[in-house]
Amino acid sequence: MSRRFALCLLPLALLATSGAAQDAVTARIVEGTLPGGAQWQAEVPQNFNGTLLLYSHGYSPRKDAPEPAPKEYRNLLLRKGYALIASDFGAGGWSLEQAVPAQRAAVEAFSAREGRPRRVLAWGSSMGGLISTALAEQDAPAIDGALAMCPSIGGAVGMMNTGLDGAFAIATLIAPHSGLALVNVADDMSNGRKAMAAVAAAAQTREGRARIALAGVLGGIPGWTRSDRAQPEADDLEGQVNEMAATLVMGTLMPRNDQERRAGGAFSWNTGVDYAKVLDRTGRRPLVDAMYRKAGLNLSRDLAVLARAPRITARPAAVRYMMENYTPTAQPKVPIVSLQAVGDGVTSPSLQRAYLEAASPAMASGLWSNSAGHCRFAAEQVMAALGHLEARLDGGKWQPRPAAFIDHMPAPMVRSCLRRSGKTGPACQ
C-alpha cells in the first residue's frame, strides 16, 4: 500500500502483550510522505483523549519504517486513548539533523489532516531521547512537553568525549598494541571486536581488572549495568568491576563512523585533559585506588602513562557541526522529564545529571529507575513518567516524585558539553 499522501482508515487490531482477546485495540492508521521524502505514520484509537505522542526511536544504522511506539508500550497507550505518531526521520544512522525537522513536520502533517491535538508530547529512547530534547528546546516548539528515556541528553559531543576518555585508557593501558582506533574509525564493528577481546583478556588478571576499573570510571560506566544481575553492594568492588567490564566497550567505543562522516572528521578530543584530575572529579577514585592496591599496581604510574600518551585532536569544523546538530542547550522551552536507569552502561547516567544541573528546575525533572540495562523500562514506569509530565502541564509545577522511582545521584559528568551551560561554566569541559 502506498504511503504517498494516503489517508488510510483501515482498522488495526493490535494484540496486547498478554495476547488476550479482550485486550485487543482498534485504531485508524493515518500516514503520508513529508515534503523532504520522510514517511510518517500515526495510530488513532477510537477513544482518542486529545494527546498525540510523538515517538523518536534510538540509533539504527538503517532507515526503518516509522515506529509510532515500541511494541511493549503500544497497546497500553492506545487503550488509554493516546494517539501515536512517528516518522522514519528520512535517514538512518545518527540522523538528528534530519530527524528533528522530520518529526516536527510529522506533527504538522497530522494536524493538517486531523486537526490540532489538544496536546503533543515528544518521547523517545536513547538517541530518540536527544531528539525529543531538541524538539523541546526549539523556539516556538511544536510540542507541549517531552519525555526523554535512557537519553543521550547530555549531547553527542560530551557523551563521546567521555567515551573517548574510557577508550583512551583501554587503548593505552589494556590494549596498547592492538591498533585500536579511537577516532577516524573505518569499521566500528571490527574495532569493537578488538576492544572486546582485549577487555575480556584483561578481566582474567588482577592487573587487567584494575585497569578496567580505571577505564570504566573515566568513561562514566556505573558499577551496575546488567538487567539480569543483582546490583553489587557498595563494598563489592569486584562485583562492580564485573559490571563495568560487561559494557565497557559498548559504553566507551560507541559507533563513530557515521557521525564522523556527517561531521566531516573527528569531533572528540582529549587535548589538555589531565586524567588524574578527571579521576578525582568523578568522586570514584577510592574504587580505582582499591583495585590498584589489590593488584599491586601503582596508579600514579599508570596515570603518568596516560599523561605522556599522544593526544586526540578534533577538527574544529566537525565540532561545530556536532554542536549545532547534536548538542543541547539545557534551556527547554517546554517542560521535559528525563528517565534513566541507575545502571545504564551504554548511555551514562552522568549525562542526565549534567543536563538537570544546567537546566531550570522549573522546566526539567529527572526520574531514576532502580534498574540496570539500556532502555528496559517497565510499562508501568513509562506510564508513571508520562503522568509526571502531564501533571506538570496541568498544574504548572512539578509534583512529588512518583513512587515508581527512587532518589539517586550518579557520578558527575566531568566532560560535559552544552551549547549554553548557563551558570555551570564553560560550554565544554
Query: Which band of pLDDT confidence, cut at 50, 70 and 90, is reported for residue 124?
Result: very high
Average pLDDT over residues 305-330: 96
CA dihedral over 167, 171, 175, 181, signed as positive or negative: positive
Q: Which domains does the chain have, with CATH numbers?
A: 11-154+327-424 (3.40.50.1820), 156-322 (no CATH)
pLDDT in tens, 14-73: 333 334 334 668 899 999 999 989 999 999 999 999 999 999 999 998 899 999 999 999
Q: Is the pLDDT of residue 242 over 80?
A: yes
Average pLDDT over residues 339-355: 97
Average pLDDT over residues 351-373: 97
Q: What is the pLDDT of residue 87?
A: 97
Tally Cβ neighbours within 10 Å of residue 239. Answer: 16
Average pLDDT over residues 113-139: 97
Average pLDDT over residues 83-105: 96
Q: What is the pLDDT of residue 429?
A: 76
Average pLDDT over residues 318-336: 95
Q: Which is nearest to 375 in space by CA: 73, 178, 136, 151?
A: 151
Instruction: List, in sequence order, the alpha helices (H) in 315-378.
Output: 316-326, 349-358
Average pLDDT over residues 313-317: 97
Residue 38 CA from chain centroid, whole number: 23
Query: Which band of pLDDT confidence, cut at 50, 70 and 90, is reported for residue 11?
Result: very low
Angle at 188 between CA 187 and CA 191, to 5 degrees: 85
Query: Which band of pLDDT confidence, cut at 50, 70 and 90, is reported for residue 419?
Result: confident
Percent residues over pLDDT 70 in the chain? 93
Average pLDDT over residues 395-405: 97
* Mean predicted lDDT score pLDDT of the chain: 92
Residue 82 CA from chain centroid, whole number: 24
Can you give 72-133 as a three-state secondary structure string? HHHHHHHHCCCEEEEECCCCCCCCHHHHHHHHHHHHHHHHHHHCCCCEEEEEEECHHHHHHH
Q: What is the pLDDT of residue 23?
A: 62
CB 141 within 8 A of CB 343: no
Query: Which band of pLDDT confidence, cut at 50, 70 and 90, is reported for residue 2?
Result: very low
Which segment of 203-212, 240-249, 359-368, 412-421 scores lowest on mean pLDDT? 412-421
Phi, psi for 414 (deg, rounded to 5): -70, -35
Q: Which is nearest to 220 in space by CA: 165, 259, 140?
A: 165
Q: What is the pLDDT of residue 5?
A: 26
pTM (whole model) above 0.85 = yes
How far is CA 93 from each of CA 39, 55, 62, 110, 380, rounded to the nearest angstrom? Answer: 16, 16, 6, 25, 30
Query: Which band of pLDDT confidence, cut at 50, 70 and 90, is reported for residue 381?
Result: very high
CA dihedral over 282, 240, 198, 127, signed as positive or negative: negative
**DSSP 3-state of 31:** strand
pLDDT in tens, 150-192: 999 999 999 999 999 999 999 999 999 989 999 999 999 999 9
